[in-house]
């Protein structure tokens, strides 16, 4: 039997490797981040997206398409207007009175005749790649998650969700057949009295003409998420008004501030969230959120970011351990 003498640091490192390899065998995503000095572990929710995929109704794969009319299982109040139907339009927005196939966004406020919820209004073409889908919920864990989220962002309301509507654009491309991949989601939440909108962002491909936010008839209430109509639209992955990277939250039943304010009806004053490296973005595994582990360990002078699963993780950990041994010599 061979016996090796190792340091306490190397012993801890080996134990962590064994744990992470076990986790990776279940298809979990491991994110390894190497920093100087301190070693610690934190577990984070790897995606701001609500569940999507299995059980959703999908829009046709088309350029400038839309869903058919969707009758809501519970009425939704949008700044004083009560709606019982909605349309999911392929070009990144929701409308109430009819489908809307406009591929050229206008800047909010638009002072038009349309109530419009636009998580990511631009020219989307998913004939080549990407899925656009939606689903309603009146029970289950999604309502529990929505209740927790809203009470966190609006702690004075004592809110309990009774209905949730989720529309997701999963890895859709820009026109025409660009092959780009952009993922975002809009979530409507209500208890029959209060209503809220969450806009969630994953990977965003560069695009200049994009409007993100919402607008009402005659723009009495409106909000444009920073980065709209600029080259910084990819920052949606990291920005937030609720300190959750990639998420914007708004109360939308009657509104609490005038449209002239830049902070019209968001949960809190918009401010950027802590930015994360682009290759540690939220992902899903078989349509469900994948938990992420962020491991911070010691290396001199450099910061490195890696994301691995399965065999690739095993290879990297072996290599990192060898580097660790060499550094101790």
pLDDT tens string 246-267? 999 999 998 543 223 333 344 4
Confidence of residue 47 (pLDDT cuts 50, 70, 90): confident
pTM, two decimal places? 0.67
Contact between 91 and 134 (Cβ < 8 Å): no
Eight-state DSSP code of residue 150? H
Ramachandran bin of 219, using left for φ above 0, alpha for ψ from -120 to 50, beta for the remaining angles: left
Eight-state DSSP code of residue 221? S
Structure tokens at 313: 């993780």
Q: How far apart are CA 103 and CA 210, in angstroms?
A: 10
Q: With CA atoms as reference, report the closest residue to 273 among 29, 44, 39.
A: 44
pLDDT tens string 279-288? 333 333 333 3
Q: Is 282 helix (H, G, I), strand (E, B) or coil?
A: coil
CB-side neighbour CA atoms (13 Å) of 291: 7
What does the mean pLDDT of the chain come to?
Answer: 76
- pLDDT at site 317: 43
- The Cα diameter of the chain in Å comes to 80
Q: How far apart are CA 237 and CA 182, in angstroms?
A: 10
Domain ranges for the chain, please list them. Answer: 8-45+291-328, 57-274
Q: With CA atoms as reference, report the closest residue to 88 among 134, 157, 22.
A: 134
Q: How far apart are CA 114 and CA 78, in angstroms?
A: 12
Contact between 88 and 62 (Cβ < 8 Å): no
- pLDDT at site 10: 58
- pLDDT at site 15: 53
Residues 19, 21, 26, 27, CA torsion sign:
positive
């Amino acid at each position: 039997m061979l016996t090796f003498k190792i340091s306490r640091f190397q012993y801890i490192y080996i134990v962590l490797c064994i744990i992470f390899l076990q986790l990776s065998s279940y298809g979990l995503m491991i994110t390894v981040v190497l920093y100087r000095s301190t070693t610690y572990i934190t577990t984070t929710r790897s995606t701001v997206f609500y569940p999507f995929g299995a059980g959703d109704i999908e829009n046709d794969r088309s350029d400038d398409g839309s869903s058919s009319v969707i009758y809501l299982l519970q009425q939704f109040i949008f700044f004083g207007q009560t709606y019982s139907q909605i349309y999911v339009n392929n070009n990144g927005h929701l409308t109430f009175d009819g489908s809307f196939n406009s591929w050229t966004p206008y800047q909010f406020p638009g002072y038009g005749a349309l109530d419009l919820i636009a998580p990511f209004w631009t020219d989307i073409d998913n004939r080549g790649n990407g899925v656009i889908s939606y689903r309603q919920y009146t029970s289950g864990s999604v309502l529990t998650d929505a209740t927790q989220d809203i009470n966190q962002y609006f702690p004075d309301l004592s809110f309990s969700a009774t209905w949730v509507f989720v529309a997701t654009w999963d890895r859709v491309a820009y026109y025409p057949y660009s092959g780009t991949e952009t993922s975002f989601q809009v979530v409507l939440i209500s208890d029959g009295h209060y209503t809220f909108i969450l806009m969630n962002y994953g990977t965003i491909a560069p695009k200049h003409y994009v409007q993100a936010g919402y607008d009402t008839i005659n723009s009495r209430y409106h909000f444009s998420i920073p980065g709209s109509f600029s080259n910084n639209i990819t920052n949606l992955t990291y920005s937030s008004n609720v300190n959750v990277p990639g998420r914007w939250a708004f109360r939308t039943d009657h509104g609490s501030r005038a449209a002239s304010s830049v902070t019209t009806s968001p949960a809190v004053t918009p401010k950027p969230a802590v930015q994360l490296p682009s290759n540690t973005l939220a992902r899903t595994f078989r349509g469900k959120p994948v938990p992420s582990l962020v491991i911070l360990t010691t290396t001199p002078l450099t910061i490195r970011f890696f994301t691995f699963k399965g065999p690739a993780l095993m290879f990297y950990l072996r290599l990192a351990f060898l580097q660790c041994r060499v550094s101790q010599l």
